[in-house]
Structure formats: structure tokens, C-alpha cells
Chains A and B, each alone.
Chain A
């Protein structure tokens, strides 16, 4: 049982670190503020969530677990809210999203 928990914990820490690194590379390399927000949202939710969940298993069941669960809950509520507010501010401030077609038609990018 300890072995399983250990493997699970290090797996979560590994996945979280990978997502943090991928999100950081995305923040540097993606072309547009909105696409960069996508990468930043990945850092907020999946990267930090997986790392903190791995720490939660690592610490055993105590007050530490509760504090880490609170931190995860706060990050998961506040991260998307902050990203949404930032996207609103950027749209309202006149930043045009980068589309793959010219925005002359009424529906520029259909998926």
C-alpha cells in the first residue's frame, strides 16, 4: 500500500512538473495574448493541481493535507476567474484575437 501511494505521488509530481514546464514554454512561444492565456491556464489548473495533489499524498493524512486541499480549491476557483477577467480586459482594451482567416466575413473562423 505504501508502495502504491509512493508511486502515485511521484507520478502526480512528475506529471505536474511536466505540465508546468509545458505551460512555461507556451507562455514564451505562443503568438498571441489569448493563446498565451491558454498556456497560463494550464499552469494554473493542471500543473499546480497535480503538483499539490502529489504533495498531498506525500505528506500523509494530517493538517497538511487539509491545507493543501484548501490551496488547490482556491487555485482552481481563482485561476480561471482571473484569466476570464484578463481576457475580458484585453478584448475590451482593443486587442484583436489572431485568426487564421482575414476578418472580412461575418463569421471569420468556423471550426
Chain B
């Protein structure tokens, strides 16, 4: 049963990879990579239960935070071409 959950996660990861290769804009790719990271966290947790080694949950915990920082950094970098101050005078403001 737990293997079926892992299989569902793997199929969804394959779909996310498909979108990240095909995606017409760079934002599609960022979105797909973000979803892939979340699915990696879920897969690590499920695999920890599958192989009965719950130490994997520590890796999942760290991976969640790294995934978040990575997505924020990449979308900010793509938008403003630097990581620092927001560009002045735009009506949308900073990310």
C-alpha cells in the first residue's frame, strides 16, 4: 500500500518534469521545479516509512526549507536580475 503512494508521487514527479521541460515561459519551469521539490519531500517521507527508517524525515525537513529559499531566490532573480533592492517606481512593488 505504501508503495502505491510512492508510485503516485513518482507519476506526479514525472508530470512535473514534463512541464518543466516543455513550459513556454520561465515561470512555468520555476513552478514545476517548486512542485517537484515538494513532491521530493513527500517521497522522502514515504520512503522512510517504506524502508522503516524514520531518520529520513530529517532530510525531508531540511529539503522543505531549501526548496522554499530556492524558489523565492530564483523568482526574485528572474524578475529583477539581482537579489538586492526592488526596482523603483513599479506599481506592483517588491516580491
Which residues of A does B touch, CB under 8 Å?
Answer: 10, 13, 16-18, 20-21, 23-25, 27-28, 33, 36-37, 40, 43-44, 47-48, 51-52, 55, 58-59, 63-64, 67-68, 70-71, 74-75, 78-79, 81-83, 85-86, 88-93, 95
Shortest distance in angstroms between B30's beta carbon and chain A's nearest beta carbon? Answer: 6
Residue of A nearest to B87 (CB): A92
Residue of B nearest to A10 (CB): B1
Contact count band on B: 35 or more
Q: What are 10 contact pairs spanning A and B, CB under 8 A?
A: A21-B11, A24-B11, A52-B45, A55-B45, A67-B58, A67-B61, A71-B45, A74-B68, A75-B41, A89-B27
Partner of B9, one of A17, A58, A92: A17
B-side contacts of A79, CB under 8 Å: 38, 68
A-side contacts of B79, CB under 8 Å: 88-89, 92-93
A-side contacts of B12, CB under 8 Å: 20-21, 23-24, 43, 47
B 34-76 binary contact with A (CB < 8 Å = 1; else 0):
1100110110011001000010011011001101100110011
B-side contacts of A18, CB under 8 Å: 8
Partner of A51, one of B18, B27, B28, B42: B42
The answer for the CA separation of A55 and B52 in the assembled complex, in Å, is: 12
Known A52-B42, A85-B75, A93-B78: A33·B31 in contact at CB below 8 Å: yes
